[in-house]
Structures are given as C-alpha cells and as structure tokens.
Structure 1
Amino acid sequence: MLTRLRSIWTPAMYHGHGQRRNYFEGWYYKFVDATGRHVHAVIPGIFLGKDASTSHCFVQVLDGATGHATYHRYPAERFWASEHELDLRVGPNRFYLDRIQLDIDDADRSLRGELGFEGVTPWPVTLASPGVMGPYAFAPFMECYHGVLSFDHAVRGALIMNGAAISFDGGRGYMEKDWGQAFPRAWVWGQSNHFDHVGTSITLSVATIPWLGTSFRGFIIGLWHERRLYRFATYTGAKITTLKLSDTHLVLRVEDKRHRLEFDAARGEGGLLHAPYRIDMLQRVTESLTAGITVQLIDQAGGVIFRGVGRHAGLEINGEIQQIVA
C-alpha cells in the first residue's frame, strides 16, 4: 500500500509492484545529438500477459533518421525496479532519471554506452495534481496512465551503435512513460523540444478514453516555455476547436479562457514500434522522429506569447482515428 501511494506522486517510478498479469509499463527516452543528425528513442519496459507465455521485458530502439526499429526481448525475470524511484534493470541494461546504460548485442543491433542527463524538467507534481494526469491519476481503473518525466534536458556521453561511436555531448533529450492495461483504441501524440528558443518544449496526446462503460475523447497538452507550463487538458476545462488529419498533416486548435494554442505538424517517415495490446506486445505503431511542427500560443486578447518551429518532432497517429476526429 505504501509503495502504491508513493507511486501516485512519483510518476517516474515503476507502478507495477504486485502486478502479475494484464499489465504493461514503458519508459520513453528520446535524445538528439548536437548536430541533429542522430535522433534516437530508447524504450525499456515490461509486459505481463494474461498468459504467462507472453510475459517478458524489453528494450526497443528507434533510429529516427532511418526509421529502423528493433525490439530486444528478455525473460520477465530479468526485469527489476526500485520501489522508491526510477531505477530499472532490463536484462543487462540500466535506466534512471538522470542516465541510461545500454548493453545490447544481438542479431538485430549492437548498442553500448552511457548517456547522462542534466537539468531534467518534469511536469510539475502537486498534492492535488500528481503530474500530467491531473486528478485522473487517482482513478484506479484507467486503461492507460501517462507521465511526462522531462520536457527538456541536456545530454552528455556517447554510444557505440553497430561499431560506430556517436557523441551526444551538447545534445537535448526528452522523457515520458505510459503504464496500465493497454494503449488506447485510437490516439494522436506529438512532441518536440528543438525550437530556436532553447528549453521550450511541447507534448500533446489526444486519445479515446474508456470510462464507466462508455468512452470520451480526452487530451493533454503541455507547452513548457520560459520556465512556465501552459496546460490544456480535459480536466482543465480546455476545448479542442479543430482537429484535422490528412495523409500529410495534422492541424490542432485548442483553447481555454486565457489562451489559444495552434499546432500544425507535417508527418514524416517513421519506424514500426511494438505497443501493448491486451493479448501481447504487437508491432503496429508507426512513429516518426522527423516530423516538423509549428506552434503558436496566443492570449485571448490576441497577443502572441510564443511562435516557433519544432524540429526532430515525434509524431504518432494510430488506431481507429475516426473516433477522435469526429
């Protein structure tokens, strides 16, 4: 019980202590080198299936430049997590809030090295609103929970990828996570922390949320700019006024009583990732790390607070999208 209570106000830590089946948890580390040529995401996690034969832990790796994605599977017994903080072992790999240590070497990919993170900037946690989920963090029956562990931070260190050494000194990173029973039936996700204004970052998700026998379109958007968080979410009373999707673009408009946010994304080529479904981890999610986005934040008097172009943007548009566009 104490660990469960601690986890509510510590989104980064493992939430699955005591879980034996029908559960997943995954952490998302994105990092870009100083030149912008090397864009990668590393995703450690665990899947506990209804059938023990599907249970396992894993590390996914996505090369944003090429779209090449690899899935490295380990027995569930090779997963360990602290009951106090973000401290994971997935096979020979280690993951923390301020660093990762990778040791992957199989037929699909070789990846070794250590990266450190400085200036980690999480979504604020308060007693009444424990992170990005807001009051929904207290609901015990959500299909999928979400956490933003760092809007933006500096990256240092190097990785050896398939024999080639790549320095990430001077790079930037982003971290988030998901946990629960399964991913939503439909969702849109976008993120960038590569604007001309260093430190500015945006993350957004729109998804179908099951709720007491029915469902609704829920959304969470956070723009971190000049050390201030501008939140737009279902639980804040904000409203989506426009959500349009085409084969090449995403257009989103959202507003509340004080601000209006405009988000436009040009979809890039992506890699195919595994995602948690109720039966297993299935390779069905296309994620791009090369999308381009434009963001504009305007107050209701018409004053522009921020306008910028985000590079190396992550973008996912998956599932039964008509459920959230309609």
Structure 2
Amino acid sequence: MLRQWWRRTGADLPWGDPLLSHRSAMEGHLWRFTDPARRRVLLVACGVNERRGRRWGTVVVAASPSLVRSVTLDGVRADTDRFAVHAAPALSFAQDRLRVSLPDVDLELAVVPRARRRTLLPAAGVFSLVPWLNHYWYPYLFDARVEGTARLAGEHWDLTGCQAYAEKSWGRGFPPAWWWGQAHGFDRPDVKVAFAGGLLGRGRCTVPVGGLVLVAGDHRIDLFPPSAVVRGGARGDRWSLTALGPRHRVRLSGQGAGSPLLRLPIPALSPHRLGHSEQHLTGEVSLEVQRCGRPLYSGTSRLAGLETGRAPGTR
C-alpha cells in the first residue's frame, strides 16, 4: 500500500519499474519507428488521463511526410501490475505487441526489446526519486526486434526490421513549455539519441531542466543533472544541446531542414480537450560525442523527430 501511494506521487523507488502505471493525472506512451532504407518514420502515441475517478485518453498516429490521425476515448487505462496500455478499440499494447486502429490507419507490430534494462535510478537520474514533480520522462527502448505491417491512408508499410524507440512520461500534466528530439538513422545503425528539456518543478521552484540519452555501440550514456551539466533549447526552427558529464561531452544541433511541421494533438487535463505540439518527423540532427577528451562519434541523421510544445492553456 505504501509503495502504491509513493508511486502515485510520480516518484519511483530504487530498482523500481517506471513502465507500470503510476496512476498519475497524465501518462504518455510513445513509440517511434524509423526505416532508413525507405527514408520514412512512423510515430504512435497514447495519452492516459485520470482525474476525479474518470479515465480518458488520446491516441495519435503520425507518418512521414504529413499524415496525422487521432481520436479521444473514454475508459483508457494502463496496468499497475504489468506493462500494458488499453485504449479500445483504437490501441492496445501488451506482451510486446502494439495494435492500432484509426480511420485510414491499421497496424499490428511485435516490438521485442533486444535487452531489458533495470537500473538503480530507472528514469531521468535522481529526478525519478523526487515526488510531486510536474513531469517525469523515461526513454527506455532504443533497440528492438520489430515485425509487422501498417496500412496508412491506403499505403502499405512493411516495418519488419526497422529501428525502434519508445518512451514513457507521466506527472501532473505537460510542462509549461518543452522541447524534445529523437533520432535513429545515422550512418551507424548502433547510434541512437533522445533528448528533452522543459520547465520542471513545482510552483516557484520550477526551473529549466534538460537531459540526453545516447547509445553508441556498447556505450549507453545518460546525461542528466546533477551529475551532468546540460544546456540547450529550441528557438525558431533550430534545436541545440550541450551536455558535459564526468567522462562524456555531447554536442547536438537540429533543424527542420525543410521537412513538414506537423501539429500533433496533446491532451489537456479536462476530458477530450486537446492542445497541440509542433513536430518535424524527418528533421536533421548533427551529433558530436567525446569520451575522456577523445572523439567517440560524429555524424548526422536526416530522419530525426524534433518537437516543441506548451501545456494546453498556457501562452
């Protein structure tokens, strides 16, 4: 009982599993599939909301170059004893299988992680242990075996063998403002990155916080304060980030690079009310990584997701 109450605050205990539902006011699940050979990207998102005993949610599918489909539903929920999301009839996820059915969109995929990772601090460093923050972010999947197909507005996509990314976020709602990015599709398939920043905290203690997770070969690099100094943001159509940790230094820059800027629905904390973020599905990200002062990787992806947003109702 005490453990369940603690998780309702948004925080996790050491060695906890943040993929299980926290029963927060807002929980967001996102899957992103990159097909470098065909130069296309598919994004699936599901927001799970609960307030005063009422549950509802939002399902969004976006595909390059400019397809966006969404629906809101009552009764959406995520399980507290296993990693599963239920948004019938639009979406279901359980036992590594993702199914979606929206107007003009049907997909069924197996998304099986190649390795399942449990750590002392499972989400964004020490912030995962702090209760009552407005927002928590957990990029948990960078490598998976993907099998399946999708029908997208009359097109048939075979997604078997594509690169996969997934994350979960939760808390009292979206940050007042945020920026985000994720990229596969570098010249090395074993290089992947996710980064984000926003206003984190509560009341007058709200401060800008950023973080980055990078995978390069056998190296996984998690850079979050206070163990790393992370500075960055988005302005106009450009994103930038510099992260300096005990052994690693990462510089990243992104731009829309002429790709369509899509408006993606995001849920407000009132049933079936929506705001919007703005995202490039196929932007450009340049990445430079050093380890102990020596170059580890330098490269560019032109299949990067780049997003900015504000919580619904804020200006």
Q: TM-score by structure 2 length?
A: 0.85
- 1:232 corresponds to which residue? 223
Percent of aligned pairs sharing the same letter:
21
- 1:253 corresponds to which residue? 242
Query: How far does the alpha carbon of each residue in 1:84-121 deviate from its partner, in whole angstroms, 9 at most, with x for none?
Result: 221122112311362201222xxxx2222311123445
| CA distance in 2: counterparts of 1:121 and 1:205, whole angstroms | 23
| CA distance in 1: counterparts of 2:47 and 2:241, whole angstroms | 30
| CA distance in 1: counterparts of 2:175 and 2:78, whole angstroms | 25
| 8 Å contact kept, 1:244–1:252 | yes
Structure 1 residue 82 displacement after superposition: 2.8
Structure 1 residue 277 displacement after superposition: 3.8
> Counterparts of 1:177-196 in structure 2 under 5 Å?
177-196=168-187
Cα gap change, 1:244 to 1:44, in 2 (>3 Å): closer
Q: Does 1:299 align with 2:288?
A: no
- 1:13 corresponds to which residue? 20
| CA distance in 1: counterparts of 2:78 and 2:308, whole angstroms | 31
| CA distance in 2: counterparts of 1:142 and 1:5, whole angstroms | 13
Q: Does 1:82 align with 2:72?
A: no
- 1:25 corresponds to which residue? 27
Q: Which moved more, 1:159-168 or 1:134-143?
A: 159-168
Amino acid at match of 1:259: H
Any stretches of 5+ residues in structure 1 without a counterpart? 321-326
Cα gap change, 1:193 to 1:184, in 2 (>3 Å): same
| CA distance in 1: counterparts of 2:248 and 2:39, whole angstroms | 35
Cα gap change, 1:4 to 1:172, in 2 (>3 Å): farther
Structure 1 residue 284 displacement after superposition: 2.1
> Counterparts of 1:108-127 in structure 2 under 5 Å?
109-121=103-115, 124-127=117-120
Structure 1 residue 137 displacement after superposition: 1.5
SS at match of 2:198: strand
> Counterparts of 1:116-155 in structure 2 under 5 Å?
116-121=110-115, 124-127=117-120, 129=121, 131-155=122-146
Computed over aligned residues only, the root mean square deviation of the Cα atoms, in angstroms, reads 2.6
| 8 Å contact kept, 1:144–1:181 | yes
Q: Does 1:288 align with 2:286?
A: no
Amino acid at match of 1:164: E
- 1:270 corresponds to which residue? 261
| 8 Å contact kept, 2:179–2:234 | no
| 8 Å contact kept, 2:181–2:195 | yes
Query: How far does the alpha carbon of each residue in 1:104-155 deviate from its partner, in whole angstroms, 9 at most, with x for none?
Result: 2xxxx22223111234456x4323x1x2322222222011111112023232
| 8 Å contact kept, 2:56–2:77 | no
> Counterparts of 1:218-229 in structure 2 under 5 Å?
218-229=209-220
Amino acid at match of 2:46: P
Structure 1 residue 198 displacement after superposition: 1.4
Structure 1 residue 189 displacement after superposition: 0.7
| CA distance in 2: counterparts of 1:287 and 1:138, whole angstroms | 30
| 8 Å contact kept, 2:35–2:162 | yes
SS at match of 1:136: helix
SS at match of 1:230: strand
| CA distance in 2: counterparts of 1:99 and 1:70, whole angstroms | 20
| 8 Å contact kept, 1:50–1:279 | no
Any stretches of 5+ residues in structure 2 without a counterpart? none
| 8 Å contact kept, 2:42–2:61 | yes
| CA distance in 2: counterparts of 1:46 and 1:244, whole angstroms | 27
| 8 Å contact kept, 2:49–2:269 | no
Cα gap change, 1:120 to 1:150, in 2 (>3 Å): farther
Q: Does 1:96 align with 2:103?
A: no
| CA distance in 2: counterparts of 1:245 and 1:74, whole angstroms | 32
